[in-house]
Chain A
Amino acid sequence: MTPEIGHFALALALAMAIVQSVLPIWGASRGNVLWMQSARWSSLGQVIFVAIGFGALMQAFVTSDFTVKNVVNNSHSLKPLLFKVAGTWGSHEGSLLLWVLILTVFGAAVSVFGANIPETLKARTLSVQAWISVGFITFMLFTSNPFDRVFPPPMDGQDLNPLLQDVGLAMHPPLLYIGYVGFSIVFAFAVAALIEGRVDAAWARWVRPWTLAAWMSLTAGIALGSWWAYYELGWGGWWFWDPVENVSFMPWLMGTALLHSAIVTEKRGAFKSWTILLAILTFSLSLLGTFIVRSGLLTSVHAFAVDPERGMYILGLLAVSIGGSLALFAWRAPMLEAGGLFKPISREAGLLVNNLILATATGVVLFGTLYPLFYEALTGGEKLSVGPPFFNSAFIPLMLPLVFVMGLGPYLSWKRADLAGVLQRLRFVAVLSVLATLAVWFLTEGGPVLGYLSVLLAIWLFAATVREWAMRVRLFEVPFPESRRRIRNLPRSSHGMSMAHAGLAVAMFGFIGSSVWKTEEVVFVKPGSEISISGFDVTFEGVERARGPNYFADRGSLTVRRDDKFITQLYPERRTYPVAQSSTTESDIRTTFAGDLYTSIANPASEEAGAEGAWTLRILYEPLVVFIWIGTTMLVLGGGLSLSDRRLRIGAPRRKAPEPIISPAE
């Protein structure tokens, strides 16, 4: 019964969304306040009905209701409760439902918390948001109904892909979706502003908290996914430039550009059409990600089941939403008033460089990701794959200048900056960075030039950011209580920027250390074998069988010593899930700030070798890798600090002149 209730609730949510997609926007153009305010109730109604639907599906998973096809395909009665819950969004249908749930939560949040947004803009935004809702709810109901029944019901389910039965990955999709879907609000704001025909500082300020929230979530989601790949896939890498990773990274890059461009629109009234375009493109790239993952367009390790019919439907959605919004942009953007002027050396120019580089980088990733498809289409069926070598050689050199400008940018003042003065202040930072890089060069035993250059820029960014922050609070220049007062009075968004920029520098240390100076050994081992790696002596003690709730495991035991002193015992596992008929690698890692000692075991090479207890052991030493996770956490915290800024909470910006620059669209 519950699944039918869930199904019906989704139909009701669709009805609400249809009303909301028409009434408020019509009211906004007719000046009918009542129609505009209807969005408040319909957006709340949508979230309630979708939540009922989601709850019904979750209930089916938790109680292992094997009359529901989706549960049969993705769950098993023996699965731990946490993964039964997480199984709700482990499949294509369920994750789509989660997508829609988050979409409606954001919509409701705008109508509840957006009290300071003018009625017409809010009504239009919520209508645009409802168009997206209608698109996705119909997609779900017509092609991917999560409540389909099976008859006769099987005795037990087929289990969730064991790779996905992991705490890190259980949390990964929700965070990622909050990011993707959060950008839908920004998109809706942008389209509404285009319809309304005005973009100004106030608009940029209303949009900012939503952009920040989505960006934070996306950052956390990507970092979590990367962390999962690191410890679960057993290869010791944290980024593989897989199409599915790339499609989450592109909205992040675009969203980062948007975050910065919106600052210029807010403070200086410039970059208006550019900010609008970025808002549209960021969400378009999120949609593109949804499309690629669910249509089977590209080969990837973790794509959903392929169904061309679904692919056509999403492509239709894409054509309408992206095509429609970009057509609107082409029509309306030229009418937007140009913003404030600035000199080539100024904060605006710095942010312009930031935006150009980030947009180019997004283009590079997009091109690399889709190149196999283009190539296949143009050559009539020949295939190729684009791997890390392309992305590393195209992407990293683009990022290094960005890091340089990041260190410099916050020192520049708006409109026109005094370059000589800035360089004067950064002289110390520059000397320090060079000296520290020389020290690194002295301590390491060789490495590529690009590696040292990256080290130099990471230190530069970190030192410049800290120095800028210290300068603002006049640390050590004035008595400490005075500095403390300044720290308190400094806007939170300013602290947030310093935190996020420093976070990127910290993460860079991790990126560089673990890719340039990692050492790796892959060896056949028998009980008693010894391996030496980066000063550690590792002894393989053997493998024993262990049982889990829905799997059994071969657990290797490794004794780690350094200079004959016992350090730790590591237990990498190979788990086999009989129901799902697949196996996973559970690495075991010893983490210190200096680096990770990473171990994983794979199957024996052959049956004969297995009989003798010989296994393939992979040991890596990855310097500084923990800084990746620290740095990305700092990025998220920086976003959070900025989000908690006073100006976003109170002192609602009021528009000065109420008359629109162009007449609103009828």
Chain B
Amino acid sequence: MKRAFAIVPLLVAGIFGGFFLWGLNPERDPNGIPSVLISQPVPKFKLEPVEGLETLGLSKADLTDNSGPVIVNVFASWCVPCRAEHEVLTKLVERDGQRLFGINYKDKPKDAVRWLEQLGNPYERIGSDITGRAGIEWGISGVPETFIVGSDGTVLYRYVGPVVGEAAIAKFRAALVQAGTLKGASGE
């Protein structure tokens, strides 16, 4: 009996070793986060509105039957880069007439409301993802992340991290142009 117990640590270590060996495969890139959702339909999710906010909630149905591609942005009031990104997104809505939807990720409704009051609310609909469940469905790796979703509800593009700074904005605008919702590369 005792002998059987004594061999357990060795077996466990062996299993770990197997995983490590697999993990060292040179073709594996631990930093690359593949966009599993690209050209897939958006995942099934249904989010209530943010408590204390008049903006409606967000669900899969809102993204599957639109007249053109829309932007879905995952944000949170606790996320500092989101604050900088907010300005960029607002501009896309106000100047370029893009449609923007939000997923408020793991945020306290009170904080989110205050944040939007302070900075303005460019979102057409905002789903409150307090538990982070929808975030898992969308496969986000952090906040912010921004998706472009086609009119039929297909995910066309995913941007990880804040769309802030010249290079990032250019890249994102290019994706919008490719999606056919923004005219010409000339932009402004």
> Residues of A at under 8 Å CB distance from B?
273, 277, 280-281, 284, 291, 295-299, 308, 311-312, 315, 318-319, 322-323, 326-327, 329-331, 333-334, 370, 373-374, 376-377, 381-385, 389, 520, 522, 524, 602, 605-606, 609, 616, 618
Known pairs A315-B21, A329-B9; A323 contacts B14 (CB<8 A): yes
Q: Are A319 and B17 neighbours in the complex by a CB distance under 8 Å?
A: yes
Q: List 14 A-B contacts (CB under 8 A).
A: A280-B9, A295-B24, A297-B20, A299-B31, A308-B26, A315-B21, A327-B10, A330-B3, A333-B2, A373-B19, A377-B19, A377-B23, A385-B141, A605-B83
Q: Is B13 an interface residue (CB 8 A)?
A: yes
Bound Cα distance from A291 to B10, whole angstroms: 18
Q: Are A297 and B3 neighbours in the complex by a CB distance under 8 Å?
A: no
Cβ distance A214 to chain B, nearest Cβ, rounded Å: 21
Cβ distance A199 to chain B, nearest Cβ, rounded Å: 14
Cβ distance A197 to chain B, nearest Cβ, rounded Å: 14
Q: Are B13 and A323 neighbours in the complex by a CB distance under 8 Å?
A: yes
> Residues of B at under 8 Å CB distance from A?
2-3, 6-7, 9-10, 13-14, 16-17, 19-24, 26, 28, 30-31, 33-34, 36, 78, 80, 83-84, 87-88, 106, 132, 136, 139, 141-142, 164
Q: Are A323 and B2 neighbours in the complex by a CB distance under 8 Å?
A: no
Bound Cα distance from A478 to B49, whole angstroms: 67
Bound Cα distance from A609 to B14, whole angstroms: 56
Known pairs A296-B30, A330-B6; A312 contacts B24 (CB<8 A): yes
Determine chain B's interface SS by DSSP, over half rule: helix
Closest residue on chain B to residue A387 by CB atoms = B142
Residues of B within 8 A of A370 (CB): 16, 19
Q: Are A374 and B34 neighbours in the complex by a CB distance under 8 Å?
A: no
Closest residue on chain B to residue A308 by CB atoms = B26
Q: Are B6 and A606 neighbours in the complex by a CB distance under 8 Å?
A: no
Bound Cα distance from A319 to B21, whole angstroms: 10
Q: Are A273 and B83 neighbours in the complex by a CB distance under 8 Å?
A: no
Q: Are B30 and A297 neighbours in the complex by a CB distance under 8 Å?
A: yes
Cβ distance B106 to chain A, nearest Cβ, rounded Å: 8
Q: Are A308 and B24 neighbours in the complex by a CB distance under 8 Å?
A: yes
Q: Are B10 and A323 neighbours in the complex by a CB distance under 8 Å?
A: yes
Q: Which of B7, B13, B139 has the most CB of A within 10 A?
A: B13
Q: Are B19 and A605 neighbours in the complex by a CB distance under 8 Å?
A: no
Determine chain A's interface SS by DSSP, over half rule: helix
Cβ distance B141 to chain A, nearest Cβ, rounded Å: 6
Closest residue on chain A to residue B27 by CB atoms = A308
Bound Cα distance from A389 to B135, whole angstroms: 14
Choice from B2, B13, B26, B34 contacting A322 with Cβ under 8 Å: B13
Known pairs A377-B19, A605-B84, A616-B84; A326 contacts B9 (CB<8 A): yes
Residues of A within 8 A of B26 (CB): 308
Closest residue on chain B to residue A522 by CB atoms = B80
Cβ distance B11 to chain A, nearest Cβ, rounded Å: 9
Q: Are B20 and A315 neighbours in the complex by a CB distance under 8 Å?
A: yes
Cβ distance B35 to chain A, nearest Cβ, rounded Å: 11
Q: A318-B17, A323-B17, A376-B28 are in contact. List 17 more A-B contacts (CB 8 A).
A: A273-B6, A277-B9, A299-B30, A312-B24, A315-B17, A315-B21, A330-B6, A373-B23, A374-B19, A384-B139, A520-B78, A522-B83, A605-B164, A606-B88, A609-B87, A616-B83, A616-B84
Residues of B within 8 A of A524 (CB): 83
Residues of A within 8 A of B9 (CB): 277, 280-281, 326, 329-330
Closest residue on chain A to residue B15 by CB atoms = A374
Q: Are B80 and A618 neighbours in the complex by a CB distance under 8 Å?
A: yes
Bound Cα distance from A312 to B141, whole angstroms: 28
Q: Are B6 and A297 neighbours in the complex by a CB distance under 8 Å?
A: no
Cβ distance A506 to chain B, nearest Cβ, rounded Å: 28
Residues of A within 8 A of B142 (CB): 385
Q: Which of B3, B24, B33, B141 has the most CB of A within 10 A?
A: B24
Bound Cα distance from A323 to B31, whole angstroms: 29
Closest residue on chain B to residue A604 by CB atoms = B84
Bound Cα distance from A395 to B34, whole angstroms: 30
- Identify the 8 closest CB pairs spanning chains A and B, nearest first: A326-B10, A605-B84, A330-B7, A333-B6, A308-B26, A334-B2, A334-B3, A330-B6
Closest residue on chain B to residue A300 by CB atoms = B30
Residues of A within 8 A of B6 (CB): 273, 329-331, 333-334
Cβ distance B121 to chain A, nearest Cβ, rounded Å: 17
Q: Are A606 and B84 neighbours in the complex by a CB distance under 8 Å?
A: yes
Residues of A within 8 A of B141 (CB): 383-385
Cβ distance B87 to chain A, nearest Cβ, rounded Å: 6
Closest residue on chain A to residue B85 by CB atoms = A605
Residues of A within 8 A of B24 (CB): 295, 297, 308, 311-312, 315
Residues of B within 8 A of A602 (CB): 80
Cβ distance A70 to chain B, nearest Cβ, rounded Å: 24
Residues of A within 8 A of B13 (CB): 284, 322-323, 326
Closest residue on chain A to residue B166 by CB atoms = A607
Cβ distance A295 to chain B, nearest Cβ, rounded Å: 6
Bound Cα distance from A3 to B78, whole angstroms: 50
Bound Cα distance from A277 to B2, whole angstroms: 14
Bound Cα distance from A280 to B6, whole angstroms: 13
Bound Cα distance from A404 to B24, whole angstroms: 42
Known pairs A315-B21, A370-B19; A605 contacts B87 (CB<8 A): yes
